[in-house]
Amino acid sequence: MFQAGTFIFFLIAAILISAIKILREYERGVIFMLGRFWKVKGPGLIIVIPFIQQIVRVDLRTVVMDVPTQDVISRDNVSVKVNAVVYFRVIDPQKAIIQVENFYMATSQLAQTTLRSVLGQHELDEMLAERDKLNVDIQTILDKQTDSWGIKVSNVEIKHVDLDESMIRAIAKQAEAERERRAKVIHAEGESQAAEKLREAAATLSAQPQAMQLRYLQTLVEIAGEKSSTIVFPLPMDLIEPLMGILKPKSGA
């Protein structure tokens, strides 16, 4: 009789101990009563009736998930390898357990297909230059599709866009050609601006003969400063005519 009582006592104690569950601050327990959803409990100390209730623990912390490298063909038919990282967390434990079998695996598979689908709609230059915009596009699509699973996708980051060697060389040649084109354009613009300034200067000098004479004399001074021993310089008639006009009255007198 004593042994039977002791056994019953230990059995009841074991059942009570197994009924006590402690959930951490970032955990929630989805409770099922005879197979049917009952409620979400936690954090802290909770009681789960053995054999009648079952508990499924759900972690609410942000999950950092690596998206495996995907082979993507861009819109301009360039094959690249792209990998990314997705940040998500469970915001509705009930949906995360009931609506999908394995929310982590489901989110991973969805991230892979979405990554290929979104990047395949863009050209290679856009993948390399507009990565922030692509991150937002992928995050928006994932967040919308995982909402029914109780998942919140907070961020997506494309880590690497890998090209083969031939494509890298082609891009380098393209960049070099682009730099040469810009240099030629800048040089042509400089020549055009210089020609315009020369035209304006010529118009100003032609409108003021005195200015032309002063410029001529300035040029003579600059040449005289050279170390040449002999300078032969044509004398323009524009400088002689004023002198001839002054000397003619004197000779007539």
The 10s digit of each residue's pLDDT in 120-150 is: 999 888 888 889 999 999 999 999 999 999 9
- Considering 155-164, 202-211, 231-240, the range whose residues carry the highest mean pLDDT is 155-164
The pLDDT of 181-204, averaged and rounded, is 80
Cα of 92 vs its chain's centroid, Å: 31
DSSP class of residue 10? H
pLDDT computed for residue 205 by the predictor? 63
What is the pLDDT confidence band of residue 12, given thresholds at 50, 70 and 90?
confident
The 10s digit of each residue's pLDDT in 90-99 is: 999 999 999 9
The 10s digit of each residue's pLDDT in 48-77 is: 988 899 999 999 999 999 999 999 988 888
pLDDT computed for residue 171 by the predictor? 66
Contact criterion met (CB below 8 Å) for 75 and 121: yes
This prediction's pTM: 0.66
The pLDDT of 76-103, averaged and rounded, is 93
pLDDT computed for residue 251 by the predictor? 47
Q: Which of 48, 132, 40 is nearest to 90 (CA)?
A: 40
pLDDT computed for residue 82 by the predictor? 92
Cα of 172 vs its chain's centroid, Å: 20
**SS3 call for 192:** helix
pLDDT computed for residue 112 by the predictor? 95
For residues 201 and 215, what is the distance between their CA atoms, to the nearest angstrom?
11
* Domains by residue range for the chain, with CATH: 13-59 (no CATH), 63-162 (3.30.479.30)
Phi-psi region of 194 (alpha: psi -120 to 50; beta: other; left: phi over 0): alpha
For residues 107 and 146, what is the distance between their CA atoms, to the nearest angstrom?
7
Contact criterion met (CB below 8 Å) for 106 and 100: yes
